[in-house]
A = this chain, B = another copy of it.
Amino acid sequence: MNRKATALDVAKRAGVSRSAVSLVLNGRGDGNVAKESQDRIRLAAQELKYSPNAIALSLRNQRSRVIGIVSDEVVVSPFDGNIIGGADDVARSRGFVTVVMDTERDAARDASAIETLLDRQVDGLMYVTVGLKPLDVPHGMLRVPSVLANCYDSSPKPQLHHVIPDEITGGRDATEHLLQLGHRDIALLAGAEGSPAAPLRVEGYRDAYAAAGLSVRADRITMAGWDIDAGFHGAMKLLDGVSPAERPTAIMCANDRLAIGVALAAARLGLSIPADLSVMGYDDEARIADTMVPALTTMALPLREIGRAAMTTLLDTIEGVSGADTAETNVETMVPCRLVIRESTGPAPTR
């Protein structure tokens, strides 16, 4: 646990001054320091395993090459962690590191996390949420380049760029997949009221119906909730004791957990998926959708892409890349969802 080597140690060992060390190790040696000294410096640095002290560097340069990521509950919840994964990919590839702080949905902690990060000279901030939602943007975020991922500035005058999934198109594409398979009566288990994502997915569903010249039956749309039991009870209501002619031939779910509930209900009722009933999920949740029996056709949320896009615009503004967004330019990036066809959807049964 002995102290790390400093630039001074390297200088001494190489028999030069600190400044020479600094110049050489930052690639500005040529034309400033004798070749011979350069070699000695580099050798000494290696022998001492010298790496500059990041703290001193930050203090000196007033920047740290660190991006702070604040999340409402991405770390502790099972969802959406890949947004952070994608963001980190991009950050690393551009020579930045990310540090994450999760506030477990406590708004008071948001502010203090951001203050902490700011105090440590982060060069930029990113706020990530579990599930699309409006955000009361913490004040500190405006003091440094910042971006929102999977959430958006809920104030009347949005200041921050945000990156979100295109839920309307997602809902539409999912519905169209089913329509193309010949389904004409598609029930929608639509998630819970109060979530911003749910109504958008419903809107996409309506769009697809309209585009196909079909009219939607209001009673086919249920704001069921987001969990397995909601899917189960929703499906039972739709299917149990209902004659085949009256049954929807497909159930589209607003997430994969609902689809599990639907599958449970179908199995209990002796209905086979997809022969008797097609089931669609949404999210493509890892270790759920792909391992379901049958494997779930679903609309994948572009989590990594959201993270990548958000980090890219953030770093572009930090590094002043030309074309980087200013207050004027677009404040919204929408990333398309991706249809993943597996085994839970098939041709509508003939009746």
Contacts and interface: CB of A to CB of B under 8 A. Distances in A.
B1 A121 contact: no
Contacts of A97: 101, 113, 116
Contact of A75 (B58, B100, B229): B100
B77 A81 contact: yes
Interface in A228-247: 228-230, 232-233
B88 A54 contact: no
B287 A227 contact: yes
A242 to B, nearest CB: 18
A66 B85 CA distance: 22
Contact of A116 (B54, B56, B288): B54
A104 interface: yes
B228 A293 contact: yes
B54 A120 contact: yes
Most buried by B among A226, A229, A268: A268
Given A51-B119, A264-B263, A287-B227, A81 B76 contact: yes
A36 B100 CA distance: 42
A31 interface: no
Nearest to A53: B119
B51 A115 contact: yes
Interface of A: 1, 51-56, 58-59, 64, 66, 74-79, 81-82, 84-85, 88, 97-102, 104, 113, 115-116, 119-121, 142-144, 226-230, 232-233, 257, 260-261, 263-264, 267-268, 270, 285-288, 291-293, 295
22 contacts: A1-B144, A52-B119, A55-B58, A55-B64, A55-B119, A55-B121, A59-B59, A75-B75, A75-B84, A75-B100, A77-B81, A77-B286, A78-B286, A98-B101, A120-B120, A228-B287, A228-B288, A229-B293, A263-B264, A264-B264, A264-B267, A270-B270
